[in-house]
C-alpha cells in the first residue's frame, strides 16, 4: 500500500540483538474487505463514513431498486395467477357454474313430471276410446325423452364437480413451482440492492458518495474487520528455521501496550530479494522470506505502525 512506502525506509531486516534470539523490524497491516455491490446502479443511501465503526449485518449502502421492485411485483402477480389456476383445476367448476346446471336439473325434472301427468291423462282417455293409441304412444315417448334429459344433466353436474384430469393438474403444479422460483429469484435480486456489513469492523475508506453510480463488483467501501490486524516482517534466510508458522512472537513499539503477543500464521516458502526501499550496504545482497503474524483482537495497533518482532520461547533451534 502506498501509505506504507515511506515506512520501509525506517525498517531494517533484522536488528539482531543476538544471534540466538533475533529481533525483526516490521509494520502493522490489515486484511481488508473491499465491499462491493453485486448489481450496478446509483447509490441512493450511504450510511457510513471513513473512520466509523460498524456492526456485522448493518446496512452500509443501498443501490437504486425501482426496476427490481417492479420485477418482484410482476413475479408476485404471476405466482398468484398460477396458484389460482391450480386451485380451479383441483376444485372443479365454480359455484355459479354448478348453480346453472342445478337450474337445468330443476327444469328437466319439471318437464318429466309434466310428461308423466300427460301420459296418465292420455291413458285414461284411451281407455274410454277418446284418443288413439298413437297419441298414447307419443305421451309415453315424451316420458322417455324427459327421463333421458334429466339423467344427462345430472351426469353433467357430477362431472362439473370433479377436478381436472391428472395431467392438467400436474402441469398446473409445475407452473406454480416455476412461478415460485421466479418470485424467489426476483426477491433475491432485489435484496442485492441492499449491501450489509459482512463483519464487525472499521470503515477505512469510502470510494463513492451517495448519488454516484457504482458498477457491479466495484468496491464502495473498505472494511477492516475486528481482529484482522497483522504484522508483516521479513526474515533473513539464516533465521528462517527458528520462526516457523505457529511460533509465538512478542510485538513492541513506541507507544505500544506492554506484552503484546502474536502468532506467526504465514512464512513464505520462496525467498525474495530485500525490498529496494530497505536496501543497505549490509543487507542488499541477502535473501529474505516474508512472514505474517496475526495480532490478537484486543491489540488494535495503528495501521502502518513500525514494530519490533521478537521470537518467544528462548533461543532458536
Distance CA 248, CA 234 (A): 16
**So what's the pLDDT on residue 279?**
46
User: Domain residue spans in the chain?
Assistant: 2-31+228-311, 41-64+193-224, 70-187
**Residue at grid coordinates 515506512:** 7
DSSP 39: S
SS3 (DSSP) at 285: coil
SS3 (DSSP) at 1: coil
**So what's the pLDDT on residue 286?**
65
Summarize pLDDT for 85-105 with one digit per residue, the tens: 888 777 655 667 677 878 888
**So what's the pLDDT on residue 314?**
52
Output the CA–CA distances (angstroms, integers) from residue 273 to 235, 266, 285, 287, 290, in the order listed: 11, 18, 8, 5, 10
**So what's the pLDDT on residue 4?**
43
Q: Give me the sheet containing 41-46, strands edge to edge.
A: 194-196, 59-63, 41-46, 213-214
Distance CA 115, CA 146 (A): 7
Which H or E run contains 208? none
Q: What are phi and psi of 98, to 5 degrees?
A: -65, -40
DSSP 284: T
Which residues in the chain show pLDDT less than 70? 1-21, 91-95, 97, 159-165, 273-286, 313-317
Class of domain 41-64+193-224: mainly beta
Contact partners, residue 1, CB within 8 Å, separation at least 6: 29
Number of Cβ within 10 Å of residue 287's Cβ equals: 13
What is 2-31+228-311's CATH number? 2.40.30.170
Amino acid at each position: 500500500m502506498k501509505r506504507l512506502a515511506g515506512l520501509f525506509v525506517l525498517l531494517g531486516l533484522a536488528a539482531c540483538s543476538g544471534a540466538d534470539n533475533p529481533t525483526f523490524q516490521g509494520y502493522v497491516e490489515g486484511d481488508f474487505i473491499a465491499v462491493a455491490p453485486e448489481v450496478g446502479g446509483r447509490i441512493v443511501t450511504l450510511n457510513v463514513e471513513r473512520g466509523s465503526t460498524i456492526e456485522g449485518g448493518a446496512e452500509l449502502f443501498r443501490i437504486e431498486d425501482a426496476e427490481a421492485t417492479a420485477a418482484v411485483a410482476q413475479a408476485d402477480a404471476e405466482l398468484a395467477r398460477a396458484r389460482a389456476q391450480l386451485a380451479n383445476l383441483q376444485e372443479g367448476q365454480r359455484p355459479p357454474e354448478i348453480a346453472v346446471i342445478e337450474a337445468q336439473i330443476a327444469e328437466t325434472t319439471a318437464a318429466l313430471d309434466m310428461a308423466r301427468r300427460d301420459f296418465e291423462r292420455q291413458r285414461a282417455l284411451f281407455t274410454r276410446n277418446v284418443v288413439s293409441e298413437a297419441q298414447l304412444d307419443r305421451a309415453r315417448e315424451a316420458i322417455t325423452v324427459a327421463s333421458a334429459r334429466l339423467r344427462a344433466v345430472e351426469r353433467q353436474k357430477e362431472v362439473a364437480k370433479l377436478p381436472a384430469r391428472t395431467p392438467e393438474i400436474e402441469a398446473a403444479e409445475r407452473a406454480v413451482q416455476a412461478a415460485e422460483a421466479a418470485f424467489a429469484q426476483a426477491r433475491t435480486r432485489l435484496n442485492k440492492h441492499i449491501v450489509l456489513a459482512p463483519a464487525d469492523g472499521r470503515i477505512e475508506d469510502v470510494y463513492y458518495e451517495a448519488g454516484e453510480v457504482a458498477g457491479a463488483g466495484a468496491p464502495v467501501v473498505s472494511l477492516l474487520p475486528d481482529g484482522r490486524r497483522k504484522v508483516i516482517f521479513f526474515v533473513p534466510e539464516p533465521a528462517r528455521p527458528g520462526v516457523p508458522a505457529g511460533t509465538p512472537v512478542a510485538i513492541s513499539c513506541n507507544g505500544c501496550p506492554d506484552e503484546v503477543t502474536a502468532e506467526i500464521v504465514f512464512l513464505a516458502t520462496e525467498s525474495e530479494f530485500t525490498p529496494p526501499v530497505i536496501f543497505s550496504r549490509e543487507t542488499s545482497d541477502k535473501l529474505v522470506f516474508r512472514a505474517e503474524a496475526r495480532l490478537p483482537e484486543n491489540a488494535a495497533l495503528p495501521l502502518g505502525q513500525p514494530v519490533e518482532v521478537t521470537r518467544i520461547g528462548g533461543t532458536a533451534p
